[in-house]
Amino acid sequence: MPKIGNIELPEFPLLLAPMEDVSDPPFRAVCKTNGADVMYSEFISSEGLIRDAMKSRAKLDFSEEERPFGIQIFGGDEDAMAMSARICETVNPDFVDINFGCPVKKVVSKGAGAGVLKDIDLMVRLTEAVIRSTSLPVTIKTRLGWDDNTRNIEEVSERMQDIGVKALSIHGRTRCQLYKGEADWTLIGKVKNNPRMHIPIFGNGDIDSPQKAQEYKNRYGIDGIMIGRAAIGYPWIFREIKHYLQTQTILPAPTLQERIEVCKTHLQKSVEWKGPKVGIYEMRRHYTNYLKGLPGIKDFRLRLVTLPTAEDINGVLDEISVHYKDYEFERTPIELIDYHEKCPL
């Protein structure tokens, strides 16, 4: 069984990737219910956390049901990273994760996220600063390298392990690829199968079906899989993968009623956590994904994204349930959107 420090994980854990403006507590809740094993906060600016920025502090919220839970921080200054890790420790997460993978220009231009991939010595210093400042296990999420000429993840992984990192999640793209092209897992496999490596290695990138999850598990020998974009609007991906790994059979697609119920739950939790105005507004991005595939849904969707109250929205969801009561969803490939374009930072 893989472990993050002393935290015991399932035999082959499925991790919900931290996604800015997506993986908030309401979204995490519906993913946890549907089989996600390890949860992360949205990534948090170390500078913002130290300044007591309201948005950054709010991202520290999590529930006991989400454990094991990690708070993910990013930044390019050693003192700020150390101080933010100490702040994270006050809310008692299970571990602290450092983001060395975010490719967004706004983050990279500050020498943070994937921007640190251009300076591995700096990556080491930042990580050491965090490890020294907290008694919690420290993990890393990163990419293969900055570009095709610097795919240095094998060196990075050894150095991270040597200074005390307890697990690595590796996205199979370089920073310059953003989310374009196909994720390359061959280097992830090399890291995992390096005889020097003994910490858990989690693979990330383009997992959009139970079959691909099993194929990559067998081919690359990774300890678990981190899933991000495939879960947006489709939290059932976790339970489907688990079922397939255990039985080699594919679950039926979630019914319309299941989709409606999860959508309602997500909305309710969004309103509870963010308040009615923001909760309803930020929920609007999710309706298209939950209801994807329904023919002629445009008019219903327009109402969903313009109505002002949760009661009104639930009324439209009930109408959809009746209108499409005989509709059977076909199993279609999950579309991996570039969520940074849909939900810009």
How large is the greatest C-alpha to C-alpha distance in the chain, in angstroms? 59
If one compares 272 and 21, the residue with the highest pLDDT of the two is 272
If one compares 238 and 22, the residue with the highest pLDDT of the two is 238
Q: How far apart are CA 298 and CA 292, in angstroms?
A: 10
Q: Residue 337: inside a domain, yes or no?
A: no
> Under a CB-based contact definition with an 8 Å cutoff, are residues 169 and 140 in contact?
yes
217 and 115, same domain (yes or no): yes
**According to the model, what pLDDT value does residue 181 have?**
79
If one compares 157 and 336, the residue with the highest pLDDT of the two is 157
182 and 301, same domain (yes or no): no
If one compares 195 and 110, the residue with the highest pLDDT of the two is 195
pLDDT for 344 beyond 50: no
Q: How many CB atoms lie within 10 A of CB 134?
A: 18
203 and 285, same domain (yes or no): no
> Under a CB-based contact definition with an 8 Å cutoff, are residues 326 and 292 in contact?
no
Average the pLDDT over 177-201 and give the result. 91
Q: Residue 289: inside a domain, yes or no?
A: yes
130 and 19, same domain (yes or no): yes
The predicted model scores a pTM of 0.92
79 and 135, same domain (yes or no): yes
Q: How far apart are CA 171 and CA 173, in angstroms?
A: 6
> Under a CB-based contact definition with an 8 Å cutoff, are residues 203 and 225 in contact?
yes
75 and 214, same domain (yes or no): yes
Average the pLDDT over 303-321 and give the result. 97
- Of 18, 15, 16, 19, nearest in space to 285 by CA: 19
Helix%, strand%, coil% for the chain, nearest 5: 45, 10, 40
168 and 265, same domain (yes or no): no
Percent share of the chain, pLDDT over 90: 75
122 and 266, same domain (yes or no): no
Q: Which of 5-14, 144-153, 198-207, 276-285 has the lowest mean pLDDT?
A: 144-153
Q: What is the mean pLDDT of the chain?
A: 91
Token couple for 48: 């913002």
Q: How far apart are CA 80 and CA 259, in angstroms?
A: 42
**Burial classification of residue 270, based on how many CB atoms lie within 10 Å of its CB (0-12 exposed, 13-18 middle, 19 or more buried):** buried
Q: Residues 6 or more apart from 99 whose CB is under 8 A from it?
A: 18, 43, 72, 73, 74, 112, 113, 141
pLDDT for 206 beyond 70: yes
228 and 309, same domain (yes or no): no
Question: Which member of 102, 176, 263, 343 is catalytic?
Answer: 102
Token couple for 337: 């959107």
> Under a CB-based contact definition with an 8 Å cutoff, are residues 280 and 251 in contact?
no
Total domains, the chain = 2
Q: Residue 2: inside a domain, yes or no?
A: no
Confidence bin at 337 (pLDDT 50/70/90): low
Residue range of the domain that includes 90: 11-247
Going by the DSSP 8-state scheme, the letter that residue 42 receives in this structure is P
Q: Which of 8-17, 36-45, 66-75, 101-110 has the lowest mean pLDDT?
A: 101-110
pLDDT in tens, 53-105: 777 888 999 999 999 999 999 999 999 999 999 999 999 999 999 999 777 77
Confidence bin at 271 (pLDDT 50/70/90): very high
Phi, psi of 201 (to 5 degrees): -120, 120
Confidence bin at 342 (pLDDT 50/70/90): very low
pLDDT for 343 beyond 60: no
DSSP readout, 208-238? Answer: -SHHHHHHHHHHH--SEEEE-GGGTT-TTHH
> Under a CB-based contact definition with an 8 Å cutoff, are residues 42 and 70 in contact?
no
Average the pLDDT over 188-196 and give the result. 97
pLDDT for 142 beyond 50: yes
What CATH number should be reported for the domain holding residue 310? 1.10.1200
Q: How many CB atoms lie within 10 A of CB 281?
A: 14
**According to the model, what pLDDT value does residue 345 have?**
29
Q: What is the CA radius of gyration of the chain?
A: 20
Phi, psi of 47 (to 5 degrees): -65, -45
pLDDT for 334 beyond 80: no
141 and 191, same domain (yes or no): yes
Average the pLDDT over 237-247 and give the result. 97
Phi, psi of 3 (to 5 degrees): -135, 145
Q: Residue 339: inside a domain, yes or no?
A: no
**According to the model, what pLDDT value does residue 12 have?**
97
Q: Which of 12-16, 170-174, 178-182, 245-249 has the lowest mean pLDDT?
A: 178-182
The answer to whether 102 is a known catalytic residue is yes
Cα 124 from chain centroid? 23
